[in-house]
Protein backbone atom coordinates (compact mmCIF):
# COMPACT_ATOMS: atom_id res chain seq x y z
CA UNK A 1 0.00 0.00 0.00
CA UNK A 2 1.05 3.59 -0.59
CA UNK A 3 1.73 6.32 1.94
CA UNK A 4 0.36 9.60 0.56
CA UNK A 5 1.95 12.86 1.63
CA UNK A 6 -0.22 15.89 0.91
CA UNK A 7 -1.36 19.33 2.03
CA UNK A 8 -3.88 18.81 4.85
CA UNK A 9 -7.29 20.47 4.62
CA UNK A 10 -10.70 20.51 6.31
CA UNK A 11 -11.34 16.89 5.27
CA UNK A 12 -8.52 15.72 7.61
CA UNK A 13 -9.69 17.30 10.87
CA UNK A 14 -10.79 13.88 12.19
CA UNK A 15 -7.09 13.00 12.50
CA UNK A 16 -6.23 15.90 14.85
CA UNK A 17 -6.57 13.91 18.09
CA UNK A 18 -4.31 11.11 16.85
CA UNK A 19 -1.72 13.63 15.60
CA UNK A 20 -1.60 15.24 19.07
CA UNK A 21 -1.17 11.78 20.55
CA UNK A 22 1.76 11.02 18.21
CA UNK A 23 3.39 14.35 19.12
CA UNK A 24 2.89 13.73 22.82
CA UNK A 25 4.35 10.21 22.66
CA UNK A 26 7.41 11.38 20.73
CA UNK A 27 8.04 14.30 23.11
CA UNK A 28 7.86 11.88 26.04
CA UNK A 29 10.31 9.54 24.33
CA UNK A 30 12.77 12.32 23.63
CA UNK A 31 12.38 13.60 27.16
CA UNK A 32 12.15 17.18 25.93
CA UNK A 33 8.69 17.80 27.34
CA UNK A 34 7.79 20.15 24.47
CA UNK A 35 4.34 21.70 24.96
CA UNK A 36 1.45 19.48 24.00
CA UNK A 37 -0.45 20.89 20.99
CA UNK A 38 -4.23 20.93 21.22
CA UNK A 39 -6.40 19.23 18.61
CA UNK A 40 -8.04 22.64 18.00
CA UNK A 41 -4.67 24.11 17.06
CA UNK A 42 -4.00 21.25 14.62
CA UNK A 43 -7.49 21.64 13.12
CA UNK A 44 -6.86 25.35 12.55
CA UNK A 45 -3.63 24.50 10.69
CA UNK A 46 -5.50 22.02 8.50
CA UNK A 47 -8.33 24.40 7.66
CA UNK A 48 -5.89 27.16 6.74
CA UNK A 49 -3.89 24.64 4.64
CA UNK A 50 -0.72 25.23 6.61
CA UNK A 51 0.09 21.58 7.27
CA UNK A 52 1.31 18.42 5.57
CA UNK A 53 -0.20 15.05 6.46
CA UNK A 54 1.02 11.51 5.64
CA UNK A 55 -1.68 8.86 5.29
CA UNK A 56 -1.39 5.09 4.98
CA UNK A 57 -4.90 4.18 3.90
CA UNK A 58 -7.04 5.84 6.54
CA UNK A 59 -4.28 5.84 9.16
CA UNK A 60 -2.38 9.06 9.85
CA UNK A 61 1.33 8.26 10.02
CA UNK A 62 2.99 11.68 9.90
CA UNK A 63 2.46 15.42 10.15
CA UNK A 64 4.08 18.87 10.24
CA UNK A 65 2.74 22.42 10.16
CA UNK A 66 3.73 26.02 9.45
CA UNK A 67 4.02 28.81 12.00
CA UNK A 68 4.92 32.43 11.20
CA UNK A 69 6.88 34.81 13.42
CA UNK A 70 8.07 38.44 13.42
CA UNK A 71 5.19 39.58 11.19
CA UNK A 72 5.78 36.73 8.71
CA UNK A 73 9.47 37.56 8.22
CA UNK A 74 10.26 34.12 9.70
CA UNK A 75 8.56 30.77 9.14
CA UNK A 76 9.06 27.67 11.29
CA UNK A 77 8.12 24.19 10.11
CA UNK A 78 7.06 22.68 13.40
CA UNK A 79 5.64 19.58 15.01
CA UNK A 80 7.31 17.12 12.63
CA UNK A 81 6.35 13.61 13.65
CA UNK A 82 6.28 10.15 12.06
CA UNK A 83 4.48 7.22 13.68
CA UNK A 84 7.04 4.85 15.24
CA UNK A 85 6.02 1.93 13.06
CA UNK A 86 6.69 3.98 9.93
CA UNK A 87 10.07 5.50 10.74
CA UNK A 88 13.23 5.03 8.64
CA UNK A 89 11.20 4.74 5.43
CA UNK A 90 11.92 8.22 4.13
CA UNK A 91 8.53 9.58 5.24
CA UNK A 92 9.97 12.24 7.59
CA UNK A 93 12.23 13.61 4.85
CA UNK A 94 9.34 13.75 2.38
CA UNK A 95 7.04 15.52 4.85
CA UNK A 96 9.79 18.02 5.63
CA UNK A 97 10.41 18.66 1.93
CA UNK A 98 6.67 19.15 1.30
CA UNK A 99 6.20 21.55 4.25
CA UNK A 100 9.31 23.41 3.13
CA UNK A 101 7.89 23.78 -0.39
CA UNK A 102 4.52 24.85 0.99
CA UNK A 103 6.27 27.48 3.12
CA UNK A 104 8.23 28.78 0.13
CA UNK A 105 5.03 28.98 -1.87
CA UNK A 106 3.05 30.83 0.83
CA UNK A 107 5.88 33.03 2.18
CA UNK A 108 8.50 33.30 -0.57
CA UNK A 109 10.52 36.03 1.17
CA UNK A 110 10.45 34.57 4.69
CA UNK A 111 13.46 32.96 6.35
CA UNK A 112 12.61 29.34 7.21
CA UNK A 113 14.11 28.13 10.46
CA UNK A 114 13.97 25.56 13.21
CA UNK A 115 15.72 24.60 16.42
CA UNK A 116 16.44 20.96 17.09
CA UNK A 117 18.60 18.43 18.90
CA UNK A 118 17.58 15.68 16.45
CA UNK A 119 20.19 14.20 14.10
CA UNK A 120 17.56 13.18 11.56
CA UNK A 121 16.09 16.69 11.37
CA UNK A 122 19.55 18.26 11.07
CA UNK A 123 20.33 15.93 8.20
CA UNK A 124 17.05 16.67 6.42
CA UNK A 125 17.38 20.43 6.96
CA UNK A 126 20.91 20.46 5.62
CA UNK A 127 19.80 18.71 2.44
CA UNK A 128 17.08 21.35 1.98
CA UNK A 129 19.67 24.13 2.12
CA UNK A 130 19.43 25.18 5.77
CA UNK A 131 22.64 26.17 7.56
CA UNK A 132 23.39 26.24 11.28
CA UNK A 133 23.05 29.74 12.74
CA UNK A 134 23.37 31.33 16.19
CA UNK A 135 20.06 32.03 17.90
CA UNK A 136 20.67 35.76 17.36
CA UNK A 137 19.93 35.25 13.63
CA UNK A 138 16.56 33.63 14.34
CA UNK A 139 13.28 35.36 15.10
CA UNK A 140 13.42 37.46 18.23
CA UNK A 141 9.63 37.16 18.55
CA UNK A 142 9.04 36.48 22.25
CA UNK A 143 6.09 34.23 21.47
CA UNK A 144 8.39 31.77 19.67
CA UNK A 145 10.80 31.45 22.59
CA UNK A 146 7.91 31.13 25.03
CA UNK A 147 7.19 27.85 23.23
CA UNK A 148 10.39 26.48 24.85
CA UNK A 149 8.89 26.82 28.33
CA UNK A 150 7.69 23.21 28.27
CA UNK A 151 11.23 21.94 27.59
CA UNK A 152 13.19 20.61 30.52
CA UNK A 153 16.23 22.61 29.33
CA UNK A 154 14.41 25.95 29.49
CA UNK A 155 16.54 27.06 32.44
CA UNK A 156 19.64 26.66 30.25
CA UNK A 157 18.09 28.92 27.60
CA UNK A 158 17.25 31.55 30.20
CA UNK A 159 20.68 31.32 31.82
CA UNK A 160 22.17 32.13 28.41
CA UNK A 161 19.89 35.10 27.76
CA UNK A 162 18.13 33.11 25.03
CA UNK A 163 21.31 33.34 22.93
CA UNK A 164 22.13 29.60 23.07
CA UNK A 165 20.86 26.30 24.41
CA UNK A 166 21.17 22.57 23.67
CA UNK A 167 19.27 22.92 20.39
CA UNK A 168 21.01 23.92 17.18
CA UNK A 169 19.39 26.76 15.23
CA UNK A 170 19.12 26.12 11.48
CA UNK A 171 17.89 28.50 8.82
CA UNK A 172 17.14 28.71 5.11
CA UNK A 173 17.47 32.29 3.91
CA UNK A 174 15.84 32.72 0.49
CA UNK A 175 17.91 35.84 -0.19
CA UNK A 176 21.10 33.77 -0.07
CA UNK A 177 19.68 31.21 -2.45
CA UNK A 178 18.42 33.87 -4.84
CA UNK A 179 21.95 35.18 -5.22
CA UNK A 180 23.22 31.61 -5.68
CA UNK A 181 20.62 30.95 -8.36
CA UNK A 182 21.46 34.14 -10.27
CA UNK A 183 25.13 33.29 -10.02
CA UNK A 184 24.33 29.85 -11.42
CA UNK A 185 22.64 31.51 -14.41
CA UNK A 186 25.89 33.29 -15.32
CA UNK A 187 28.34 31.69 -17.80
CA UNK A 188 29.80 28.46 -16.43
CA UNK A 189 33.33 29.83 -16.05
CA UNK A 190 32.09 32.49 -13.61
CA UNK A 191 30.18 30.05 -11.40
CA UNK A 192 31.96 28.69 -8.32
CA UNK A 193 31.25 24.99 -7.83
CA UNK A 194 29.18 25.33 -4.66
CA UNK A 195 26.59 27.80 -5.95
CA UNK A 196 24.35 25.17 -7.49
CA UNK A 197 24.01 23.23 -4.23
CA UNK A 198 20.62 23.12 -2.53
CA UNK A 199 18.60 24.55 -5.45
CA UNK A 200 15.09 23.54 -4.42
CA UNK A 201 12.10 23.64 -6.74
CA UNK A 202 8.80 24.73 -5.19
CA UNK A 203 6.25 21.96 -5.52
CA UNK A 204 3.49 20.87 -3.17
CA UNK A 205 2.17 17.98 -5.25
CA UNK A 206 1.04 14.86 -3.38
CA UNK A 207 3.99 12.50 -2.88
CA UNK A 208 3.45 8.75 -2.88
CA UNK A 209 5.74 6.35 -1.04
CA UNK A 210 5.07 2.67 -1.67
CA UNK A 211 5.77 0.50 1.37
CA UNK A 212 5.42 -3.15 2.27
CA UNK A 213 2.19 -4.13 4.01
CA UNK A 214 2.42 -4.21 7.83
CA UNK A 215 5.66 -2.23 8.05
CA UNK A 216 7.82 -2.97 11.04
CA UNK A 217 9.98 -0.50 12.88
CA UNK A 218 12.73 -1.09 10.38
CA UNK A 219 10.46 -1.59 7.36
CA UNK A 220 11.73 -1.41 3.80
CA UNK A 221 11.20 1.50 1.49
CA UNK A 222 10.43 0.10 -1.92
CA UNK A 223 10.12 3.30 -3.90
CA UNK A 224 10.19 6.98 -3.02
C1 LIG B 1 12.56 12.79 13.21
C2 LIG B 1 11.56 11.89 12.47
C3 LIG B 1 10.41 12.73 11.97
C4 LIG B 1 12.29 11.23 11.26
O5 LIG B 1 11.31 10.51 10.52
P6 LIG B 1 11.72 9.29 9.57
O7 LIG B 1 10.58 9.05 8.65
O8 LIG B 1 12.16 8.14 10.38
O9 LIG B 1 12.99 9.89 8.79
P10 LIG B 1 13.54 9.44 7.38
O11 LIG B 1 13.35 7.97 7.21
O12 LIG B 1 12.95 10.30 6.32
O13 LIG B 1 15.09 9.76 7.54
C14 LIG B 1 15.66 10.98 7.13
C15 LIG B 1 17.15 10.92 7.37
O16 LIG B 1 17.42 10.94 8.77
C17 LIG B 1 18.13 9.77 9.16
N18 LIG B 1 17.62 9.36 10.45
C19 LIG B 1 16.37 8.93 10.74
N20 LIG B 1 16.26 8.69 12.06
C21 LIG B 1 17.47 8.99 12.61
C22 LIG B 1 17.98 8.95 13.92
N23 LIG B 1 17.23 8.56 14.97
N24 LIG B 1 19.26 9.32 14.13
C25 LIG B 1 20.04 9.72 13.11
N26 LIG B 1 19.60 9.80 11.81
C27 LIG B 1 18.33 9.42 11.59
C28 LIG B 1 17.86 8.75 8.08
O29 LIG B 1 18.90 7.81 7.99
C30 LIG B 1 17.78 9.63 6.85
O31 LIG B 1 19.07 9.98 6.42
P32 LIG B 1 19.52 9.82 4.87
O33 LIG B 1 18.78 10.90 4.15
O34 LIG B 1 20.98 10.02 4.88
O35 LIG B 1 19.08 8.47 4.46
C36 LIG B 1 11.03 10.74 13.40
O37 LIG B 1 12.13 10.04 13.94
C38 LIG B 1 10.17 11.27 14.54
O39 LIG B 1 8.96 11.41 14.39
N40 LIG B 1 10.80 11.53 15.69
C41 LIG B 1 10.09 12.08 16.86
C42 LIG B 1 9.67 13.50 16.67
C43 LIG B 1 10.84 14.44 16.42
O44 LIG B 1 11.95 14.23 16.89
N45 LIG B 1 10.54 15.50 15.64
C46 LIG B 1 11.50 16.53 15.31
C47 LIG B 1 11.40 17.66 16.27
S48 LIG B 1 12.63 18.90 15.90
Question: What CATH code is carried by the domain that includes residue 57?
Answer: 3.40.630.30
Q: Is 93 in the pocket of ligand 1 (CB under 6 A)?
A: yes
Please determine, for residue 116, whether its predicted confidence score (pLDDT) is greater than 70.
Answer: yes
CA angle centred on 27, ends 110 and 223, rounded to 5°? 70
The alpha carbon of 73 and the centre of ligand 1 are apart by a number of angstroms equal to: 27
**How far is Cα of residue 180 from the mean position of the Cα atoms in its chain?**
23
Please tell me the total count of domains within the chain.
Answer: 1
For 90, residues 6+ apart whose C-beta sits below 8 A from its C-beta are 209, 221, 224
d(CA 220, CA 192): 38
- Range(s) of the domain holding residue 143: 2-213
Q: Nearest C-alpha to atom 48 of ligand 1 is from which residue?
A: 116
- Return the percentage of the chain with pLDDT > 70, whole number: 83
Q: Is 81 in the pocket of ligand 1 (CB under 6 A)?
A: yes
pLDDT at 189: 47
**Structural domain contains residue 222:** no
Over residues 20-44, the pLDDT tens digits come to 999 999 888 877 656 568 999 999 9
Count the neighbouring beta carbons within 10 Å of the beta carbon of residue 142.
9
Record the pTM: 0.87
**Structural domain contains residue 224:** no
Count the neighbouring beta carbons within 10 Å of the beta carbon of residue 144.
20
**Structural domain contains residue 110:** yes
**Structural domain contains residue 218:** no
pLDDT at 139: 97
pLDDT at 32: 67
Q: Is 124 in the pocket of ligand 1 (CB under 6 A)?
A: yes
pLDDT at 81: 96
Amino acid sequence: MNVRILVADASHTGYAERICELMYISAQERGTGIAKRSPEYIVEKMISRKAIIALHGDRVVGFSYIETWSHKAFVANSGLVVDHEYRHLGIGAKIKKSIFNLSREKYPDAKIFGITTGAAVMKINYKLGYRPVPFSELTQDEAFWEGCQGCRNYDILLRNNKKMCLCTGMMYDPAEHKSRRSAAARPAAAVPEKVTAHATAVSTKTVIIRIKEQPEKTGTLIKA
